[in-house]
Amino acid sequence: MLAEVVSLATAFWAGLQARTLLVGAVVFLLFAVFKRRRPKNYPPGPWPLPVFGNLFEVNMENSHLDAQKLVKKYGNVLGLHFGNVSSVLVTGLPLIKEVLSQTDQSFVHRPVTPLRERIFRENGLIMSNGQIWKEQRRFTLTTLKNFGLGRKSLEERIQEEAYHLVEAIKEENGQPFNPHFKINNAVSNIICSITFGERFEYQDAQFQELLKLLDEVTFLEASRFCQFYNVFPWIMKFLPGPHQTVFSNWEKLKLFVSHEVEKHRKDWNPDESRDFIDAYLKEIVKYTDKNASSFNEENLICSTLDLFFAGTETTSTTLRWGLLYMALYPEVQEKVHAEIDRVVGQWQQPSMDAREFMPYTNAVIHEVQRMGNIIPLNVPREVVVDTTLAGYYLPKGTMILTNLTALHKDPKEWATPDTFNPEHFLENGQFKKRESFMPFSMGEFG
């Protein structure tokens, strides 16, 4: 009898647990659905799933391509949800200009995703906001404009590295090779020259490791695992995957820069700034009250890495696109070659002064950037206060993406949007600026 009572009680308890779990799951889903309800007059878009939102409708590795299909269906102001983050994709020149050149500063913030929060917190140049962003940006722009700080100019540094790149290519003796890392070497060395005051040989093992880490981070940050981390950081931080490699790589990169900072401290002379790190150290000691300034070693490390990440990846990718289009369009290559020979000659380094006399080459470079489309949905922004756009309501905290892919392929703006055509930037043989050309965004906040 006792055994039967125990058995009955056990069965009842198991059933109760199952019912409790089921009720809990239903309540959780109802709560998630309630949270996912669109605010009144929010931009139209696909209905988001509870918890996940529209994560499965947009492949992050080709998000700009999936986005174009949704824009055709829902319009130029598209509402999306990635987990608990409300996002709006803005398409079309007038609306993009309204967002990027907004004078009331409704769209000036950068959203701090869990991934970037763990890596940089709110430090650096790219994803910082408010006073930190203003101080870091002002200092960096002033320092770069003043280069080379009484020594080499930025143009001289570029010319020197261009020479080393050409010599490295010559070593291939006309045989096929992958230019990826040679170009990365050259571009990164220019940034090294500015930040560390020195360049590295292309065979330098430590330098190659730095480039490998940067390259891997660029590739992995677009992975599903990293996007899931942004939605479920409390779960994903315990799971293995590419996101853990991203964190590990950034820590190694921070350590590399930290060692460079320590080397600078040992022979630092406040009266002579040799490079970006020296200038930053001088700025740190200016402020005795550390709470009154954002200038500290953590921000120095993060700002230096931002310069590397943004400068190396964008420039080297653009150069690789340029090589590809020159190979695909030999007739364009011949015209560029002829203009270079005529204006620069074969025995001197090209300079910025020659640009105004080389309209065709300038047009080709711009067309490479248009077709390369290396920042397809731009660096995201965030709505600072509740606002409206095209009559739609955008609550505070909404992430804003601007559709540069559609802008650079808009048939209303470009005669042959899907074809490489330098004539897009020429008028009567002279270079012509285009308002709809935004390879690196626009406005003060970029």
Task: List the CATH number of the domain containing 185.
Answer: 1.10.630.10
Hey, is 253 helix, strand or coil?
helix
**Single-letter amino acid, residue 100:** L
373 vs 378: CA distance, rounded Å: 10
* 400 CB-near residues (< 8 Å, 6+ apart): 87, 88, 90, 99, 107, 380, 381, 382, 383, 394
Let me know if residue 162 belongs to a domain: yes
149 vs 145: CA distance, rounded Å: 9
Let me know if residue 386 belongs to a domain: no
Let me know if residue 290 belongs to a domain: yes
Short-list 426, 429, 402, 431, CA closest to 414: 426
Residue 370, φ and ψ in degrees, nearest 5: -65, -50
For residue range 276-294, list pLDDT tens digits in order. Answer: 999 999 999 887 777 778 8
65 vs 403: CA distance, rounded Å: 10
101 token code pair: 């050149």
* Degrees to nearest 5, angle at CA 78 with 76 and 82: 155
Residue 79, φ and ψ in degrees, nearest 5: -90, 130
2 vs 9: CA distance, rounded Å: 11
**pLDDT score recorded for residue 329:** 98
Q: Cis bond leading into 446, ω under 30°? A: no
Lowest-confidence pick of 139-153, 257-271, 279-293, 317-331:
139-153
Let me know if residue 78 belongs to a domain: no
**pLDDT score recorded for residue 403:** 94
**pLDDT score recorded for residue 222:** 85
99 vs 383: CA distance, rounded Å: 10
Res 338 pLDDT > 60: yes
Short-list 254, 364, 267, CA closest to 319: 364
- Contact of 90 with 76, CB cutoff 8 Å: yes
Rounded average pLDDT over 299-314:
90
116 vs 122: CA distance, rounded Å: 8
Let me know if residue 263 belongs to a domain: yes
Let me know if residue 19 belongs to a domain: no
**pLDDT score recorded for residue 274:** 86
Res 102 pLDDT > 70: no
User: Domain limits at 145?
Assistant: 115-310
Tell me which DSSP letter residue 44 carries: P
For residue range 183-199, list pLDDT tens digits in order. Answer: 999 999 999 998 998 89
For residue range 7-53, list pLDDT tens digits in order. Answer: 544 554 555 454 554 444 444 444 444 445 567 899 999 999 888 88
86 vs 394: CA distance, rounded Å: 9
Q: Total domain count for the chain?
A: 1
Pairing of strands 85-90, 399-402: parallel
H or E segment to which residue 321 belongs: helix 297-328
Let me know if residue 186 belongs to a domain: yes
Let me know if residue 199 belongs to a domain: yes
> In 121-204, which ranges are continuous DSSP H helix?
130-145, 154-170, 180-195
Q: Can you list the pairs that 145-150 forms with residues at least 24 positions away whose Cβ atoms lie under 8 Å?
A: 147/194, 149/273, 149/274, 149/275, 149/278, 149/279, 150/272
